[in-house]
Structures are given as C-alpha cells and as structure tokens.
Structure 1
Amino acid sequence: MRWLSFAIPLVLCSTASADNFTGFRGDGSGTVTADPPIRWSAEDGIAWTADIPGYGQSQPVVWNGRVFVTSSDGPWQQQQHVHAFDLQTGNRLWTRTIDASLPLENYFRNSRAAPTCVVDDQAVYSFFASGDVTAMTHDGEILWSTPVIEQNGKADNERGVASSLAQTEDHLFVLVDHHGPSYLVAINKTDGSTAWKADRGNRVPSWSSPVIATIGGHQVVITSSADTVDAYDAATGDALWQLDGLQGNHIPSASVVGNRVYAGSTTMYGGASDEDAVAGSNCCIELSGGGADYKQLWGAERANSYYSTPLCFAGYVYYVNKVGVLYCVDAETGKQVFRKRIGNPCWASAIGVTKPDGEQLVYFVTKNGFTIIIRPGDEYDQVARNQLWDAEAMLAAREAAAKQRQENTVPADEAPAKSGPEAVFAGMPESRLHQMFSYGDPMVYAAAIADDQLLIRTGQKLFCVGEKRVDAEAESRGDAEKSMPVANFP
C-alpha cells in the first residue's frame, strides 16, 4: 500500500442532501428531491461550461458547492486526474494528478477514467482502471493512495475496469470481475488498508458497480454482475446469498430503492443473446432479514438495459437499450407499460426528480446531448426535449476529441493484442467502430443533479444547466483556476 503519513479522522458521514450528489447515481437510487430546469437550449439556460483536461467517462459528484470529476491522459493513461470545480461559477479550483500504478492503453473503446468517485464530509475518494484508490481532502490534499489491483492481481478485462466505488460510513467498496480470480474489496476510509476481501472465483468481464442497501439498520453490498446478483455483509464481507442464472448483467448496475433491488441486463456481442432470457434478467428482488434473505418478485416481461442503470421511480421501472428504445414496466409486476424510441441511447443513467411542489419527472440524458424529460404514467408523456450544444460546438468538440486521441495513441508495435470480442474489432477502421457503437464525440457519459442544477459530462467538458449565478465581478476575473502539483509516489 502507498499512503502518506496521516489519516482521516473517522466521523459520521453526513446524510446526502438535495445540495449534494455523493456517488454513482447519488445514493444508489438515482432519485433526488430538487427543482432543476425543465427547458433550455444551447443558447439559453446553460449556466456555465468548463473544459476538463484529458478525457474521462465518470459521473460528477458534488459536495457543498464543489463538483469533483476525473479524467486520464497519456498513451498508457499514466496520468490520472481528479478535478474540483465551483458549482456556482464553473471555475476549476484545483487539479490533482496521480501516477498510475498499472498501465492501460488509451484506446477509445477502453475505460478512460470511467469509475465515479464517492465523496463524504471528510474526503473525495477516486478509483481508476489502473486500480489506484486515492483519498484526498476537498481542497485536493492527498491523504493516502492504495494500488488495489496491483495488490490483488492484474485484471484480465478487454475493456478495462470501469466499476465505480460504493461507500458506507467506514468503507469504500471496489468490484473487479474479470476472466481471472475476481473479487470485492472493502477499503478502510481512514488509511486505505484492506478491511476485507471476498473472492468471487473466475468470472466473465463486467463493468457494473456495487451498491449499498440498508435493511433494518443493516448494510449490505449488492453486486449485479457476471450473470449473478450477490449480497455481502458490508461490515464483514460474509457472502449472504446469490441469485444465479441471469444473462447479460455485465454493464448496468443494480438500483436499490428501500428493500428492493432492480437488476439491469442487456444482450451483448459475444455474450447474452436470448432476448427473452435477458428481459427476465431485468428483475426485481425483495430483501428481508436485514438483507440476509431475498426472493425474486419478477423478471421483466420485455426490457433491455444497455449502458445505463435501470431507474425505479413513481411506481415504474425505466430501461433504455442500445438503440435508444425506452422500456417502462410496472414496478410491482414487471409487466410492460409502454415502450418508446427516444432518439438515441443513454450512457448516463436516468434521474428521477421530485420537485418541491410534489411534481415528479424523469430526466433521460442521451449520448448525443439531448435531455428528454417525461412525466411518470401509464403512457409516454414527454414534457420537454432540450438540446445541449449547437452544430458549431459539436464540431469543435469532435476536433478536440480527435486531437486528444491522436496525441495519446500507443504506437502500433507497442499496443497490446486485443482479446475477446475486441479481437474481432481490432482490424476495423476507427470510423467504422464509431458508426457501429455510436462513439462519435461529443458524447454524454453521465449526469448529476445538485443544488437545483443539472450537471452533464462529456469526455472533455462539464456543463451546468440552471440558473446563472456568476456576478459581473466574477466574470471579469475569467477562469480563476489553479493547478496543484502532481502527486508522485515512490
């Protein structure tokens, strides 16, 4: 373990408020109580836009007016960045860089700073595909850094590790499922040491994230990954139960609402292909006995959840497939209510919003920068469709991303051989792969809501949709960013 000579004082984590968004999908449910904008355009309603150095795919997290987001840079993603932005102004407050303990090719189909941070009242905790878990203060001072994958064996995953962190008051949770010995690790927040490790055997590669369920005051880590849903005691790592026989739950994570877990599943190239079996693997699980017991309530009649995690909200569960078809099923029965093509697939997971006046809305942010807002109900009820950028901004972003890829290309004679499905794609032109998988930049990877502002993240930019809160004096100062020194570990 690599860590500095001081530790985080252990105190209770503050309960996430409507002003904070503390991890992947907030508290794991993907729901918030807030009053974000409903209508905007590229010309009106964007509070600010900020450049993110490098390239990244993680979701922003927010704590007390600070937005934390990650990116990586270098041909082998050897530079791993954590950035802090001011939520009101968009000014970049600091950037902290961590040297990667293990290299990963900076290839546009690989994980590039995909894992999302978690944040509490003491620190912001980052995780990268290199396996480095790092804690730093809200001001960017590094407290400790632990090379989890280097300690536990290199991950054999053709797309790189992309699982986000989960957290409890005391621990961080890292899931690594791959072709070799897979595992779930609990890391002590105080010093980065290992609290426990649960071995998961050899698995197929997966990119979903663990989530915490709290049942009767007892905390359970839920993993929906590699054809099973598993539950572990968050304090000890003891395996509690396993639901097996699922297909295609390798990308979407589980969603937890109260004592229910909603698993997402999708058809995949070289993997799950039975549409009926995949639909049934989009299932609902009810927890009991403090999370130590379970029963499967239903498998969806017709559903497919590709990159984004399913959202259970206002009596319905929503899934979006890889061609942009939205499926809505009844949360009690799993019966399909409707399906509707919304125009583009979503990498960003949907967010369920309850406004102060009680109105409920669902925000779907698509890969091509549109946000579709619907009102929950038995029929598709679209409230708004908002565009994030215009043609000029789109072309500029496309050029910037192409330049970044070119600058970070690993020479052909040094590039590692591709495995699994990636071996099939290795000889194809990049343009063809972009077309096949809708990889054209700018591409929206994630969204979050905090302090009534909607944050949307592309590979190289962060957008804040909402009330513009920058006064004339702040605007005249321009970009007041400061960059902190690079952190180099022996």
Structure 2
Amino acid sequence: MHQSFCLQFFYFVFVCPAFGQEWTGFRGDGSGTVTADLPTRWSPDEGIAWQADIPGYGQSSPVVWGDHVYVTSSEGPWQQDCQVHAFDLQSGTKLWTTHVEATTKVENYFRNSRAAPTCCVDESGVYSFFASGDVTAMTHQGDTRWSTPIIKTYGEVDNERGVASSLSQTETHLFVLVDHHGPSYLLSIDKHSGDVVWKADRGDRVPSWSSPVIAKIGKRNIVVTSSADTVDAYDAATGESLWQLDGLQGNHIPSASVDGSQIFVGSTTMYGGATDEDAVAGSNCCIALTEDDGKLGYRVRWGAERANSYYSTPLAFAGYVYYVNKVGVLYCVNQETGNQVFAKRIGNPCWASAVGVTKPDGEQLVYFVLKNGFTIVLRPGNEYDQVARNQLYDASAMMDAREAAEKQRNANTVPADQAKPKSGPEKVFAGMPESQLHQLFSYGDPMVYGVAVARNRLLIRTGQTLFCVGQNSKELAK
C-alpha cells in the first residue's frame, strides 16, 4: 500500500504536466487559446526543432500530455488498421504505436475522412476515436485498456465523407457525436470502463463533421453541439436536452468555440448544402449561456454580416472573433457587437483552427496555420497587423510529401469491384480522375490538418508528418 501510494505521488508530481502545459483535446480545452512563449519566426532551415514521419495517413490534430505527443492514422484499403502513435515532445522520437483493428469498414479514399477525429488525453492515458466507430482507451505506455465499437453497436453511418467528429471530455466521461442521414446521436462514455452511460437521440440529420465541446455554468458541465443546422445543449451528467437553437445554415464542419459563458458558432457554404450566403453569414453567431432560477438557456447576442468559417473553427480572442473562409479570406469581427472590423485575404484557407497565444509578458498574438504550411502571425487589433509569415517546408519537401502520399493512396486503393457506389454529392465526382479532383478541391499534399501548443512549442500535423516549431531539446530541458 505504501509503495503504491509513493508511486502514484511520484507520477502526479514528476510526470503530470504543470497547469497550462498540456493540450488535451481538439483545440486544447475547446477555446483554442493558450499561454505560451511561442516563436514568431521560423523557416525550413531555422526554428524547426524536429520533424517525424507518421505511418499511414491521418487528419487528426495532435494532443499533448507531459512529454508525450499523440496523433492517429489509418492504413489498409478499408482503413482496417487504425493506429495511435506517441512521440517524444523533446526529440520527436516515436515512442510507440498501438494498432486498433477496425470493427467497421471505411473506404480509404482521399475525399473520405481518414483518421480525422482528434484524441482526448488525461492523466490516465489517451482516448482515440476512428471513422470505424471504435472508441479506445490506452495508457501512456500504449497498452489498450478498453475498446467500444459504437457504429457496430448502433448501426452503420450514412455519411458520404465518413465520420470526422473529435472527442470531447470531462474529468470522468468522453462525448461522441454522430450526425448523418439516419438515426443520429450523442453518446457519453465512462472513461474508466468504456461503458455507454447515456445516449441522446437526435433523429435523422444532415451529415455533419463538427465536434462537441464542453461549456460550464457554475459547477455544471454542458455538452454543446453545433451541427446539422442547429445548436444543442445537453446536461453532461444525464444527457437531458437543455435547449436547441434552430434555423441555422451551414454549421456542418466548423465546431463551436467556447469563451467562458459565450459560444461562437461557425458556418460555411458547401456543395450540396447551404447556399444562402446571408443566412450562412448570420449563422456565424455568438450565443450567451444563461441561467434563470436554475434553468439553463441561451440568448443569441449577434450574427455576423459576412463572416464564413469553412473548415476551421472560429477563434474568440483578445476582444475579436476570427473566421477564415474557403478561399483564404480572414474575417475579423468585434467580439461584443459582431460588427466587422476588417477582412483580408491571407493567401490560403485554414483547415487547422487558429490559436490565440498570450505570452508571459502579456503580449497577445494569433497564429493562423494555413493549409499550405505557411503560418501567419497576427497582432490583435482594429487593423490587420501582420507580425510574421513563416514557411514550414520548402519545394523539395513538398515534392517528397506528394510522392509519399500518392504511394500511400495507391497501396491502399479499394479494388473497383469492391468499392461501394458513391452517395450524395460524391456521386457527381465518382467518374472523375483523381488528378482532376485534386485540382478541383485543392487536395494536393502536403496539407496541414491540425495544430497543438505545448511547452512553448507549436506542433503542426500534415497527413504523414509531425513538425515541432520551437527550441531544440537541450534548450527545452533547461
């Protein structure tokens, strides 16, 4: 007993990271903001601490606990080999890979979600979720604790692009959102056992890929989903539906962003979906959480006039809210009023969500990591104030990444006689050559899918590579 207590105490004091050091899920704690001393300038030749190859291919963001960085990927024609990888934050050394055998087949197609859901991590380990529907808990050493096959349990998903919603978490539970052309639902899963604690049915929905987020009212956790043209709030403990805001358009990809008692919703026009640009812009809105005599509710504070989020989630930071649309236009609106402050073309869309960084000296900066690997560092204000524009990889590295991605796609192609017919909007593109689709949708690798911040380092993830921007390992260890 005494030895066990000592070991647990040692782990808590010396292994668990200090407050603010970890990046525990999609967009950190759901706000996309962090206190860190990040560099503002780097290039392919300077300022990159390390880069590491990721086996397979994946679109999830990194998460960090202590000195462990976790990312996921998948391999095989049916993405049957789902993988969780742990890397050392200081050196980039791959520590381990644990394989999860998919319980549901998902075609390994470049326009499908491929290991897109981001993990959650806490002191007990890492929790992964894959398009196959498998939710799995692992220790920080890579040992599997439990695995729960939700799609096998609740039925196949009718969603032409696959499942991409990331996990969210409280101290004791995980939350999984599945919205599709069929019985949609939100699940609560016990972190200790893997058991489903509650299931909130959401009816037949428009397919969506956004992620749930946790907000707090007093000591009460609520799960907020911005998805399939509504925003819904659920009691995290019971699954009780608390309220629903309907009438939105285009909130199928961007997730909600939390800033205290305010929820910021992102929406975008998309093929086969919302096309009313005014309605979509107004759906990029701010919701205030309310409580009246113990009853939880909401109030819509404002809807933006022109903002559009596309893939990345809006960022509320330093008195402003930032949105990036599908052609790389950055919209900045006033956080209190929703009035547009400026709009500026930044050169490329963001698939990774922006990060608001407060430095130890109080300086505030916004990092936009663009899909093509450039990072715009911006100083918040009423005008576009660019601090730096940094390149992550050079032309040679881009060509190498394209060849590696093409090789991976060719090796994982589903035989034509086994592939399921495409559904929904994908039917239109089924007969087009892959090269034409790549050009049409700007799908050329390398593409930046996600970012994380930990210990004064910026982690940037492409399909097959993990980059670490910051100090070298000797400086980090001081």
SS in structure 1 at match of 2:400 = helix
Cross-structure match for 2:230: 228
- Rounded to whole Å, the distance in 2 between the matches of 1:83 and 1:402 is 22
Indicate which of 363, 370, 375 corresponds to 1:366.
Answer: 370
Q: Does 1:319 align with 2:303?
A: no
5+ residue gaps, structure 2: 1-11
Q: Does 1:332 align with 2:333?
A: no
Cross-structure match for 1:203: 205
Once the two structures are TM-superposed, the CA of residue 48 in structure 1 deviates from its matched residue by 0.2
- Rounded to whole Å, the distance in 2 between the matches of 1:345 and 1:436 is 15
Amino acid of the residue matched to residue 156 of structure 2?
A: K
Amino acid of the residue matched to residue 427 of structure 2?
A: A
- Rounded to whole Å, the distance in 2 between the matches of 1:28 and 1:291 is 24
Indicate which of 261, 264, 278 corresponds to 1:262.
Answer: 264
Q: 1:180, 1:202 within 8 Å by CA — same for their partners in 2?
A: yes
Q: 1:89, 1:470 within 8 Å by CA — same for their partners in 2?
A: no
Once the two structures are TM-superposed, the CA of residue 16 in structure 1 deviates from its matched residue by 7.5
Indicate which of 293, 303, 309 corresponds to 1:305.
Answer: 309
Cross-structure match for 1:6: none
Cross-structure match for 2:353: 349
Amino acid of the residue matched to residue 407 of structure 1?
A: A
SS in structure 2 at match of 1:125 = strand
Cross-structure match for 1:488: none
Cross-structure match for 1:215: 217
Amino acid of the residue matched to residue 246 of structure 2?
A: D
Amino acid of the residue matched to residue 54 of structure 2?
A: I
Q: 1:218, 1:291 within 8 Å by CA — same for their partners in 2?
A: no
**TM-score scaled by length of structure 2:** 0.95
SS in structure 1 at match of 2:473 = coil
Q: What does residue range 59-458 of structure 1 map to in structure 2 within 5 Å? A: 59-289=61-291, 292-458=296-462
Cross-structure match for 1:31: 33
- Rounded to whole Å, the distance in 1 between the matches of 2:432 and 2:386 is 39
Cross-structure match for 1:483: none
Q: 1:302, 1:335 within 8 Å by CA — same for their partners in 2?
A: no
Check 1:306–1:291 CA distance in 2 against 1; reply closer, same or farther (3 A cut). Answer: farther
Once the two structures are TM-superposed, the CA of residue 470 in structure 1 deviates from its matched residue by 5.2
Moved over 4 A (4+): none
Cross-structure match for 1:22: 24
- What root-mean-square deviation, in Å, do the aligned CA atoms of Structure 1 and Structure 2 show? 1.3
Once the two structures are TM-superposed, the CA of residue 428 in structure 1 deviates from its matched residue by 1.2
**TM-score scaled by length of structure 1:** 0.93
Check 1:16–1:199 CA distance in 2 against 1; reply closer, same or farther (3 A cut). Answer: farther
SS in structure 1 at match of 2:244 = strand
Cross-structure match for 2:470: 466
SS in structure 1 at match of 2:432 = coil
Q: 2:17, 2:65 within 8 Å by CA — same for their partners in 1?
A: no
Check 1:16–1:104 CA distance in 2 against 1; reply closer, same or farther (3 A cut). Answer: farther
SS in structure 2 at match of 1:435 = helix
- Rounded to whole Å, the distance in 2 between the matches of 1:397 and 1:407 is 15
SS in structure 2 at match of 1:400 = helix
SS in structure 2 at match of 1:432 = helix
Amino acid of the residue matched to residue 421 of structure 2?
A: A
Once the two structures are TM-superposed, the CA of residue 18 in structure 1 deviates from its matched residue by 2.6
Q: Which has the higher contact order (CA 8 A, sep 6+)?
A: 1
Cross-structure match for 2:4: none
Q: Deviations over 1:220-245 (max 9, x none)?
A: 00000000000000000000000000
- Rounded to whole Å, the distance in 2 between the matches of 1:259 and 1:468 is 38
Amino acid of the residue matched to residue 396 of structure 1?
A: D
- Rounded to whole Å, the distance in 2 between the matches of 1:291 and 1:303 is 32
Amino acid of the residue matched to residue 61 of structure 2?
A: Q
Q: 2:333, 2:340 within 8 Å by CA — same for their partners in 1?
A: yes
Once the two structures are TM-superposed, the CA of residue 168 in structure 1 deviates from its matched residue by 0.4
- Rounded to whole Å, the distance in 1 between the matches of 2:295 and 2:393 is 44
Q: Deviations over 1:208-263 (max 9, x none)?
A: 00000011111000000000000000000000000000000000000000000000
- Rounded to whole Å, the distance in 2 between the matches of 1:26 and 1:202 is 30
5+ residue gaps, structure 1: 1-10, 475-490
SS in structure 1 at match of 2:58 = coil
Amino acid of the residue matched to residue 320 of structure 1?
A: V
Q: How many residues align?
A: 460
- Rounded to whole Å, the distance in 1 between the matches of 2:466 and 2:453 is 13
- Rounded to whole Å, the distance in 1 between the matches of 2:296 and 2:151 is 29
Once the two structures are TM-superposed, the CA of residue 17 in structure 1 deviates from its matched residue by 2.7
Once the two structures are TM-superposed, the CA of residue 15 in structure 1 deviates from its matched residue by 9.1
